[in-house]
Amino acid sequence: MKLARKDLLGIQELSVEEINLILDTADSFIDISTREIKKVPTLRGVTVVNLFYEPSTRTRTSFEIAAKRLSADTINITTSQSSVVKGETFIDTARNLEAMNPDIIVLRHSAAGSPHMLSKVVRQSVINAGDGAHEHPTQALLDMMTMREKKKRLTGLKVAIVGDIAHSRVARSNIYGLTKMGARVSIGGPITMMPRYVERLGVEVHYRLEDAIREADIIMMLRIQLERQETNLFPSLREYAKYYCLNRKNIAAARDDVLIMHPGPINRGVEISPEVADGPYSVILEQVTNGVAVRMALLYLLSGGKS
Amino acid sequence: MPDGRRAQTEEVKGMKKRKVVMDAEAIERSLTRVAYQIVEKNKGVEDLVLIGIQKGGVLLAERLGRKISAIEGVPIPAGKLDITLYRDDIMKSGKQREIGKTDIPFSLNGKKVVIVDDVLFTGRTIRAAMDALMDFGRPKLIELAVLIDRGHREIPIRADFVGKNLPSSQSEEVLVKLSKRKTSDSVSIEETF
């Protein structure tokens, strides 16, 4: 089995076999991060450019650590410090980067489809680190890795995803991935945050938190983007929290051994109460740990296979 | 008696000619000798650990470990090491290599480490294994035990303990078959025409 791709743009185009290959490879990278010397020489001489047009700490750091643990060189470009502020277009920036011969470009951009466009312009491998409200494939992969690690399977799991589904690339990538892998996905949130025709993706749609998480093996709470308050998706944070904050009481609707996940950063007391976020079923920090392994696996798989 | 004959048997499979050069008993005897040599050279088994290289060396390391334990009466720690991430051709081979399990559940600091592999050929695997081991700690010394040394070294590496020297040509392939049950174990040499 081989990942015969130049780029990783989304979960939508991946096959079950490819997802399994990435997750299996990621499993074998977990140990490296716990060793005394957290570095292997595998990607010596490979250059990874992290091109981030949106603020990110977790994802960018995770990619950077992943690359460094494989001995690749990394360069971080964030738009506030780059020539984007001088008016350079995205494509011109990409062509200039390409001329410096990196091997992999990791892109985060607020416009859906930008990694796809970039992959057609440059010969380097492109990894989508989040494009608008479209996809965030490495997040979904690390989520699936965490679920598989804890529950030993994905097939047949009931996964509830709750929050602003319409604007969430994390939700979209997870829905694509989990339904492919045979999990049952139920989504929940206020009607203003549900994309139209979302049931066509093969998910159950609920508008009450308790209905969405009933008998769930895994609950994934999405971050409420505070900046969206002005867009009238919900009247107030307080009201959102009243109906959709996962707390010790409403969590009882889920299975006793439910796992709580969150892609971060969390708004304590808005979508998740502190006692749940820090509680025994929370695997939020394991997600972060696994994120490094998944990104190592992708850098490895996309760099290999070149002749 | 029939086993002695089998060692001479030639099988022809397609355009390949295969000749068995060691049977299960011969392998067993070689390993017994190597086990004694390891104990002798290290003057006992204090701080001795065995590291089998994936995949061929893992089972061998376990077997050698059991033999040495039987001789000295103390358990010998054995680990496994996958060297894929340390290969010198990983970016050139045009292949995505599957990564095997590395499991060294003990510290290597100050230990006498015996690397165990089935076939010593170019020496590049051993170079990678030594680099990998250094990332796990600082062994007191590293030795190398192999079942077969087939020659054709490309870097200056030699084995301290050899089950059998098997001169071969570059075009031949040396196949080591080992299983937990031992009965069908064999070393054979295969030539492609």
The pLDDT tens digits for B139-150 are 999 999 999 999
Burial of B8 (0-12, 13-18, 19+ CB in 10 A): exposed
Query: Distance (Å) from the C-alpha of residue B137 to the closest C-alpha of chain A?
Result: 8
> B162 and B121 in contact (C-beta within 8 Å)?
no
DSSP letter for each residue of B110-141: T-EEEEEEEEESSSHHHHHHHHHHHTT---SE
Q: For residue B96, give the nearest of A45, A70, A305 by CB distance.
A: A305
Residue A70 pLDDT > 80: yes
pTM of the model: 0.88
Mean pLDDT across the stretch A292-303?
96
Peptide bond into A265 cis (omega under 30): yes
| Calpha distance A64→A253 (Å, rounded) | 39
pLDDT for B13:
52
Nearest CA in chain B to A5: B96
Q: How many CA within 13 A on the CB side of residue B129?
A: 27
Task: Quickly count: other Cβ atoms within 10 Å of residue B172's Cβ.
Answer: 17
Mean pLDDT across the stretch A127-137?
96
Mean pLDDT across the stretch A167-173?
96
* Cβ <8 Å between A304 and B90: yes
| Calpha distance A78→B89 (Å, rounded) | 34
Q: Which of B55, B80, B83, B85 is the best residue to mutate to test the A interface, defined by the most A CB atoms within 10 Å of its own CB? A: B85
pLDDT for A231:
74
CA angle in degrees (0–180, nearest 5) for A72-A74-A75 = 160
The pLDDT tens digits for A216-240 are 999 999 999 877 666 778 888 899 9
Residues 6+ apart with CB under 8 A from A164: A189, A193, A222, A224, A225, A228, A233
Query: Distance (Å) from the C-alpha of residue A118 to the closest C-alpha of chain B?
Result: 24
Query: Distance (Å) from the C-alpha of residue A145 to the closest C-alpha of chain B?
Result: 17
B172-177 and A259-261: which strand pairing? unpaired
CA angle in degrees (0–180, nearest 5) for A233-A235-A238 = 115
Q: Which of B81, B141, B61, B52 is nearest to A35 (CA)?
A: B81
Return mean pLDDT, chain A. Answer: 93
B135 to chain A: which residues are within 8 Å by CB? 35-37, 39-40
Residue keyed to tokens 């090491």:
B81
The pLDDT tens digits for A85-126 are 677 888 999 999 999 999 999 999 999 999 999 999 999 999
Mean pLDDT across the stretch A141-151?
98
Which A positions 5-44 lie with beta carbon below 8 A of chain B? 25, 28-29, 31-32, 35-37, 39-43
Task: Quickly count: other Cβ atoms within 10 Å of residue B73's Cβ.
Answer: 8
Mean pLDDT across the stretch A286-291?
96
Low-confidence ranges of chain B (pLDDT < 70): 1-14, 93-94, 193
pLDDT for A229:
66
